[in-house]
Amino acid sequence: MAKIKTIGVLTSGGDAPGMNAAIRAVTRAAISHEFNVKGIYRGYRGLVENEIVDFHAEDVSNIIHRGGTILRTARCKEFMTPEGRQKAYDNMRKHDIDALVVIGGDGTLTGAKQFASEFDIPIVGIPGTIDNDLYGTDHCPGFGSAAKYIATSTKEIIRDAMGFSYKKKNVNIIEVMGRNAGWLTGAAGLSRSEDCEGPDLIYLPEVAFDIAGFVQTIKELLEKKDVIVAVVSEGIKTPEGKYVCEYTAGSSTTDAFGHIQMTGTASYLAQLVQSELGCKTRAIELSTLQRAAAHMASRVDVDEAFSVGGATIKAADEGSSGVMVVIDRVSDDPYQSTTHVFDVHRIANDEKVVPRKWINKAGNYVTEEFLDYVRPLIQGHYTPMMVEGLPRHLNVNMKDYDWVTDTKKKK
């Protein structure tokens, strides 16, 4: 294989904490390997539409502790067609890019596999997704920070619900992301600690959800206590295979990729409980806050994203292609991890779900083993850079911005 001269880097799919750390590590490591670096905006869309810029060491200064991705991200239907990928390849050639680093989830890596096989391009992937649903890696960069946010928010919701004295009994239902895999939802269980009793119930999409059984369980719990907090995955389904969110009004909405929009599960259940049991209910959908809450980033997560980014360039320089750099857990206590290179063709097409043995028998809570798996990943903190009382973000046009001085470039 010819020696790489220019490497392109892109972030794709849903935003995930740690993407900036990975971009920085990729760029700096590539420069130290004497590669030129090109930043590709908005994932595969930027490749198809030729939004590609030179990247220098200073372009990735000051970004590790910031949320979002300076390259922005997107979902691109055109890249899923042979014509779209041909355009992407032509643009790569225009910029002399001879290898790609892609940072994203399952879809991003599937696209990379397809692209690499059609055009014989060295591609190395970084599994950056809060969903944590990729095979081959102990966990995905992005997941630890999202889990930390979910556990923290659950604690806050419980404290709020317990602290306020309502006249009526009170049921709170929190909806967490996860279409088919309940990693994020299960993380709510980490809130159970010395100072918090944790949620009463946790429902993952791995176990069929019995709507009538849920109402009955709430009814029985309300006989013993006044305040209940339940956490549900957005993707919980009935035994017949229907998403609970499909029962809500307007549920027929699908996105450009034909996926049912996952929203409204908590709101449907809250209304149902209110009408059946006559108690006060509240639905809380964490929605995009789960992936956007950079103020709650886990240091372990962000540091691992950085390590994976560096290892990606080493792998590319050694001639690896069609691989992703994954995380191995070396030990739990003290927590230690390392990276290795994993053939993307070995990734099964289906998502990695929470093992049934990590969910209790009744299907309404996660086990200690699940919590022991997640707990090390949320440790440590990255304090955001605060300006005028608010975290400083990077949502500005990069070409007009100087990251080193953190100011707009003078015209």
Active-site amino acid positions: 131
Which listed residue (57, 80, 196, 398) binds ligand ATP by CB under 6 A? 80
The CB-of-189 to ligand ATP minimum distance in angstroms stands at: 22
The CB-of-75 to ligand ATP minimum distance in angstroms stands at: 3
* Helix 211-222 × helix 265-277 angle, to 10°: 60
Which listed residue (76, 229, 294, 327) binds ligand ATP by CB under 6 A? 76
Residue whose structure tokens are 């549920």: 251
By CB under 6 A, residue 129 contacts ligand ATP: yes
Pick between residue 108 and residue 154 the one whose CB is nearest to ligand ATP: 108
The CB-of-324 to ligand ATP minimum distance in angstroms stands at: 12
DSSP output for 166-216: -SS-EEEEEEE--SS--HHHHGGGGG-BTTB---SEEE-TTS---HHHHHH
Query: CA–CA separation, 54 vs 96, rounded Å?
Result: 11
The CB-of-69 to ligand ATP minimum distance in angstroms stands at: 11
Are residues 124 and 99 in contact, defined by beta-carbon separation less than 8 angstroms? yes
By CB under 6 A, residue 79 contacts ligand ATP: yes
Closest CA to 131 of 19, 244, 14: 14
Query: CA–CA separation, 108 vs 8, rounded Å?
Result: 15
By CB under 6 A, residue 183 contacts ligand ATP: no
| DSSP at 363 | S
By CB under 6 A, residue 131 contacts ligand ATP: yes
Q: Which among 9-17, 155-163, 228-236, 372-380 is the span making contact with ligand ATP, rule CB under 6 A?
A: 9-17
Site string for ligand ATP, 278-317 (x = CB under 6 A): ----------------------------------------
By CB under 6 A, residue 41 contacts ligand ATP: no
Pick between residue 80 and residue 222 the one whose CB is nearest to ligand ATP: 80
Query: CA–CA separation, 200 vs 218, rounded Å?
Result: 9
Residue whose structure tokens are 């960069």: 141
By CB under 6 A, residue 18 contacts ligand ATP: no
The CB-of-186 to ligand ATP minimum distance in angstroms stands at: 17
By CB under 6 A, residue 321 contacts ligand ATP: no
Closest CA to 105 of 324, 345, 358, 341: 324
Give the dihedral sign, CA 377/262/365/360. negative
The letter for the amino acid at 186 is G
Pick between residue 67 and residue 198 the one whose CB is nearest to ligand ATP: 67
By CB under 6 A, residue 44 contacts ligand ATP: yes
Instruction: Report in angstroms the alpha-carbon separations of 73 from 19, 51, 389, 406.
Output: 10, 12, 27, 21
Q: How many CB atoms lie within 10 A of CB 187?
A: 33
| DSSP at 237 | B
Q: Which among 98-106, 193-201, 228-236, 324-332 is the span making contact with ligand ATP, rule CB under 6 A?
A: 98-106
The CB-of-163 to ligand ATP minimum distance in angstroms stands at: 35
Task: Show the tokens assigned to 112.
Answer: 């990379």
Which listed residue (11, 12, 152, 153) binds ligand ATP by CB under 6 A? 12
Query: CA–CA separation, 368 vs 275, rounded Å?
Result: 34
The CB-of-40 to ligand ATP minimum distance in angstroms stands at: 12
Instruction: Kindly list the residues in this chain that would bind ligand ATP in the complex (CB under 6 A).
Output: 12-14, 44, 75-76, 79-80, 104-108, 110-111, 114, 129, 131
